[in-house]
Structure 1
Amino acid sequence: MKKVWIAYALLAVGLAVAPFAVGLMGQSWVRILDFCLLYAMLALGLNIVVGYAGLLDLGYIAFYAVGAYVMAILASPHMDIHLSAWTILPLGATLACVAGVLLGAPTLRLRGDYLAIVTLGFGEIVRLFMNNLDRPVNITNGPQGINLIDGVSLAGHNLNQGLSVGGIQGGSAYAYYYLFLALTLLTIFICVRLENSRIGRAWMAIREDELAAKAMGINTRNIKLLAFAMGASFGGVAGGLFASFQGFVSPESFSLMESVMVLCMVVLGGMGHIGGVILGAILLTLAPEVLREVINPLQRSLFGRMVIDPENLRMLLFGLALILVMLFRPEGLWPSPRRKEELHHG
């Protein structure tokens, strides 16, 4: 027990000093660290739908968009409304939850490929809706997006102004890191409680065999709707934080590729395992930046010019990584012990 507490203490110290250690390589890497936490929150929300309930959702980014645009509209000069971020975040989560129920209700009888196609369409509908809702009433400002979004304030201090710790001055990326870290830890706590609850066990029963779960008295309709609603709420909160952090949102930020990326984080890390999902989020968030730092100079030194676009190379490597994972580790890079045992015996 003493060793466990020492490990937790070391982890806490490491997380506390992480942005200042990473900041030695440049403040852009602190922003990347922030996005690791943001995507971890997003992936944990999708893990409820895909990992726990076994419902394939390719339109999850739509709930992220709902939360982001609620923050953008209510905390910017666009509509001349400046509500507090702490008022907007619950509202964005609620609207995203409603959107999740609206998506889940007509798809309760669908599974597998059919469910994936319907959710994919839902995600694209939301993106196109945001892209075209600038006439006759300009609500989303269309493809131009919304900028000058207010930052989050804590104790009267706007996080966009940065922070100062022990005489060390840090920018807004440092300040947002601690906010994102606190909310990520809260998300992890909620997911752990859900996983070990009767609801979590009902989700897993539906994932393994829906007919058997229904025969055991589980209300599969309500439980599946709850999975969509809970996952969507997490996406709405993450979207609001994204809009506040970036200060700008546009429909391009919520494309199908973003949904695929978040799904890859869940699958690659380990569906249904909180630690695996966080690992997948960190790996796939860092991968493009590492490739940009390594591949671009390497290509210039070998060929004198850029031969392969880093974005195309990233997608090629992601596809290859997923194929290898499905072949050699179908349970993910860091699976839950229960899931690993089920797959091996299955």
Structure 2
Amino acid sequence: MKKLSLVSLLVFLVVMAILPHLLDTRWQTVAVTFLVFSVVALSQDIVLGKAGMFNMGQAMFFGMGAYVTAILNSHFGWPIVATVPVAIVAPVLLGIVLAAPIVHLRGDYLLVVTIGFNIVFVQVLINNLGGVTGGPNGIFGIDPLRLFGFELSSQVAIYYYAFAVLLLTLAIMINLDKSKVGRALHYLREDPLAAESIGINTRLYKIFAFGLGAGIAGLAGSVFATQYSAVSPEAFEFIQSVLFFSIVLVGGSSIPGVLIGVFVMFVLPEIFREFSTWRFFVFGFAMILTMILRPRGIWPATFGKIPKFLIKEPKNGG
């Protein structure tokens, strides 16, 4: 299975490297958005798939990264490249602050709270906080990214920028899976009580997952703002969080699974654009089919449970 996953990933990378030269302008835009959404979905996988927390607010961190880049560039004249670190750090800090008081919640309770956060975030944007978010119309006229004297203004150039961000995200995900932190998150997802019994600080790892996922989503948001040269609240509404949540559930908690999920939940509706009014039906039907036929997703990660010898059994009378 691992060899198959590696081969599939390599084939995917080769195809994606040559893809923009085979597409017209419209489909180049779709391809860039596919890459951006893949990065956000992978960030969602850290929280939902690896840590097992029902987060339905990932679009908030995605939007925060986009708005940080837009505000710093349009209102303060920062070059886009200088806004990227802030677009990562700001969502990380927000993720940590929001996660700290709620990580003890589980299941539906956590789901509802994160939905509330996302709704509040969008309302803050609409109400033009500090006069810098642009209200319902958002912010327009964002400068293109300039690197090493080159202006990345064409869709092909932006595509390779987004592709580089995806490669960076994939490297983070692969190393996370192999690390002690990744194993701890897996144990946390499978059985929080058992994870605590072997000395894992579940609260700390949950906050870490929220922070890391928020930072990666913020980076994707910065790319998104650069791609469209504009941001508006409607791009980060609750339905976008539903999309990212659905992608992980349908595709499965693995790199190939997430990428397949983005294709099924985003690219296929673009292919059948004339049926776009059925988008919510597709979401629901795909999730129902997945839960029945593939409850762990189309391409789930293969992990075992916590080894029994690691679990400390309570002593009699203890």
Partner of 2:311 in structure 1? none
The residue aligned with 1:56 is 54
In the alignment, structure 1 residue 90 sits paired with structure 2 residue 91 = no
User: What does residue 26 of structure 2 align with?
Assistant: 28
With over 3 angstroms needed to count, the CA separation of the structure-2 counterparts of 1:243 and 1:111, relative to structure 1, is same
* Selected match of 2:296 from 307, 315, 331: 331
SS in 1 for 2:295: coil
Looking at structure 2, the residues matched to 123 and 57 of structure 1 have their Cα atoms a distance apart, in angstroms, of: 10
Deviation of 1:103 (Å): 1.5
What's the counterpart of residue 39 of structure 1? 37
Secondary structure of the residue aligned to 1:153 is strand
TM-score, length-scaled by structure 1: 0.83
Alpha-carbon distance in structure 1 between the residues aligned to 2:123 and 2:190 = 35
Alpha-carbon distance change, 116 to 6 in structure 1, aligned in 2, over 3 angstroms: closer
Query: For 1:55, what is the secondary structure of its paired residue?
Result: coil
Which consecutive residues of structure 2, in runs of 5 or more, have no partner in the other structure? 306-318
Distance apart, 1:14 and its partner CA: 2.8
**Partner in structure 2 of residue 150 of structure 1:** 143
Shift of 1:7: 8.3
1:106 alignment partner, SS class:
coil
Q: Does 1:226 align with 2:241?
A: no
How far did residue 183 of structure 1 move? 1.2
* Equivalent pair of 2:8/2:256 in contact (CA under 8 Å): no
Q: Is the 8 A contact 1:103 1:119 kept in 2?
A: no
Alpha-carbon distance, 1:275 to partner: 1.2
Distance 1:262 1:175 in 2: 25
Q: Find the aligned partners of 2:248 and 2:174 in 1 and give their Cα distance.
A: 16
Matches within 5 A, 1:53-202: 53-76=51-74, 79=75, 81-134=76-129, 137-160=130-153, 172-202=154-184
Rate the CA distance shift 1:11–1:195 in 2: closer, same or farther, 3 A: closer
1:178-205 Cα distance to aligned partner (Å, 9 max, x none): 1111110110011110111111111111
How many residues of Structure 1 are paired with residues of Structure 2 in the alignment? 302
Letter of the 1:242 counterpart: F
2: CA distance between counterparts of 1:239 and 1:197?
Answer: 26
| Structure 2 counterpart of 1:255 | 237
CA radius of gyration, larger in: 1
Distance 1:320 1:106, change over 3 A: same
Choose from 263, 273, 291 the match for 2:272: 291
- The C-alpha deviation readout for 1:258-287, integer Å capped at 9, x for no partner, is 00001111111102x111011111222212
Mean CA deviation greater in 312-321 or 216-225: 312-321
Identity %, equivalent residues: 37
Deviation sequence 1:127-153 (CA, Å, 0-9, x none): 11111125xx41111112100001111
Please name the residue that 1:169 is paired with.
none
